[in-house]
Chains A and B, each alone.
Chain A
């Protein structure tokens, strides 16, 4: 199986360790993921902010880069949701692109989907002796319907104590440019999320998206609070 890693632009620049974690996890399972270096971004920032024309060249670059792979795996619920749910709506005007994108959509997976649905594994032999809580993130939960998948993987991690997060299904207030365009509302949503995370008494706050984690982690950091943000792939790789 030819597997490509789509590391996403945010991870590439800010959180390379998440990408490394995915490479290590797949290696441990005996797979070699390729990292096509032409990759840049999925175009979500542009599309969600209303710059759909500007998103098109970025989407084209994405489709070009990942054609020819059996599976594209990304450690980001929201970028995979962009490819799966928004590409079909956006590429409609260009029939060639639409056909290629539609095909790619079927082969693009969030990490936990790929591990459980495609590779059929839940136990990665990881060990992480800490207390952690898990925030499911909106795109993972509602756009991709990841459900229990990430938690199922985490439950097999040795020594990890998972503490339930109250109001887990509520948005943390990030929403891409929403947090810049409506900072006050976003901040109010973040307040409640931080309070819920603190309430768990966990050492780590885990999620499937570093963007949401940056937001929540930034809020906790501002409050000088202890829980540290960490992508769940990094726990699985430990």
Chain B
């Protein structure tokens, strides 16, 4: 069976290299990103170093998720049964459209015209806010950073800190101009900004009858959902409204309650550099007279089953969205999240987005990495991101085998030369002969400023060297001859 690929906010209009160029031209953005990512990565390193059993924890985190991948159908059924027993209603959504249709219908059933939301990447993935808006329902983000991005009519640029690309002055301006009730005299002091947001959100919480949430984990044994957050706004969303709709990717499953012990240590240290996160909310079905009285869980596939089918690529589904890989990625640090065109940016985005959509639809993201491997080293569940990137590059190339490409012709030719020592030897000599006149022109210098296409990209920011006057193998032959040995 071939599972369907996903849809939604998983690709942008431009290829990564073009989008990155646009983002690179924003010096303030680069400064903001550099400052923020370096601050979090240093904090992370510090608290991770405190734990003597960190490597064992990572190994457990990896092993549990590998087990989930093997047992997914069984665990999903188990989860559904437990959740229903506890009084929740479970819905299954194959893709973004189906999920949006289900959620919109559920909100409409309540008669409400607005819903509050607690940070949920999954709902961003499926474009839920836009779908609700199209149905005349206002969806209001309550996570501070999400709120900033929503007010600015912008897209999130980081998994954990969606407004990472703004500094305080920029946030103050967004609040002054866009937040209902914000004073013109608002300063950029963090307390004042937080207070303004709190006043604004209070009103929303107290009037909202419907909330939409995501979940960090879903426990198969008990049907429990878990949200991990730092502001407490999520908890308000999860407890105040009458109806709670949780959209949960099927990759969020863990087998049992005890497994949370591992992830609740791995996640906060990896993501915010905290030993423990401030608010951990767990909810199981409904309790009469306490909290939401109607509870819906929408289990989302959207390309996850298709991802599961690839033996190397499936490890991307182990991701717990801690964002540690973004904070150490030299590419993310320079371009920010928007260049990736997906709600999932950075190294994890470069592997998860093309897998959810199908690689053929998203061929530039697997190349958005220098394969430096910094992401592999910080990943709390030991995803070998660079391995998956190389795998996906192979699939990207294969997906285009039918159409002509100069790159493929060059690669074929090179492979033909490199797989035969005689051809290789001749090519070496030819390369040197070919550049000999150039070398003479350059006099003593052995560097050039401009190479022809496609290597012109290289000489856009660095000078290139010329082949040596004598190759190593020629030296070797000369040396052997001098020693009186036959080469």
Contact = CB atoms under 8 A, between A and B. Distances in A.
Interface stretch (A113-121, A158-166, A216-224): A216-224
A173 B243 CA distance: 50
Contacts of B487: 37
Given A178-B371, A185-B334, A13 B475 contact: no
Interface stretch (A39-47, A96-104, A201-209): A39-47
A86 B418 contact: no
Given A50-B394, A60-B419, A13 B471 contact: yes
A69 interface: no
A168 interface: no
B468 A46 contact: no
Nearest to A51: B411
Nearest to B422: A38
Interface string B81-92: 000000000000
B400 to A, nearest CB: 9
Interface in A206-232: 214-215, 217-219, 221-222
Given A12-B471, A184-B20, A221-B463, A173 B330 contact: yes
A49 B393 contact: yes
A123 to B, nearest CB: 26
B24 A188 contact: yes
A49 to B, nearest CB: 6
A124 B447 CA distance: 32
B411 A175 contact: no
B420 interface: yes
Interface string B458-487: 101111111110111111100000000001
B430 to A, nearest CB: 11
Contacts of A176: 371
> In this complex, which of B419, B457, B461, B464 has the most chain A Cβ atoms within 10 angstroms of its Cβ?
B461
Contacts of A186: 370, 461
Nearest to B18: A184
Interface stretch (B139-147, B285-293, B373-381): B373-381
A37 B466 CA distance: 23
Contacts of B377: 142
B390 A86 contact: yes
Contacts of B312: 89
A43 B418 contact: yes
A181 interface: yes
Contacts of B372: 138, 142, 171, 175
B464 A218 contact: yes
Interface in A10-41: 11-17, 19-20, 35, 37-41
A182 B20 contact: yes
Contact of A50 (B17, B396, B449): B396
A12 to B, nearest CB: 4
Nearest to B467: A13
A184 B473 contact: no
A16 B458 CA distance: 22
A174 B387 contact: no
B397 interface: yes
Nearest to B460: A183
Interface string A58-92: 10110000000000000000000000011001000
Given A35-B473, A61-B419, A14 B465 contact: yes
Given A45-B414, A58-B419, A171-B370, 15 more contacts: A9-B418, A13-B468, A40-B419, A41-B424, A50-B393, A54-B412, A57-B419, A61-B421, A171-B374, A175-B372, A183-B461, A186-B370, A186-B461, A187-B462, A221-B463
| Top-9 shortest CB links A-B | A175-B370, A218-B462, A50-B393, A187-B461, A57-B419, A171-B372, A50-B397, A16-B472, A54-B415
13 contacts: A12-B473, A37-B476, A50-B366, A50-B397, A52-B394, A52-B397, A86-B390, A170-B374, A175-B371, A182-B367, A184-B21, A185-B17, A218-B447
Interface of A: 7, 9, 11-17, 19-20, 35, 37-41, 43, 45-52, 54-55, 57-58, 60-61, 85-86, 89, 138-139, 142-143, 169-171, 173-191, 214-215, 217-219, 221-222
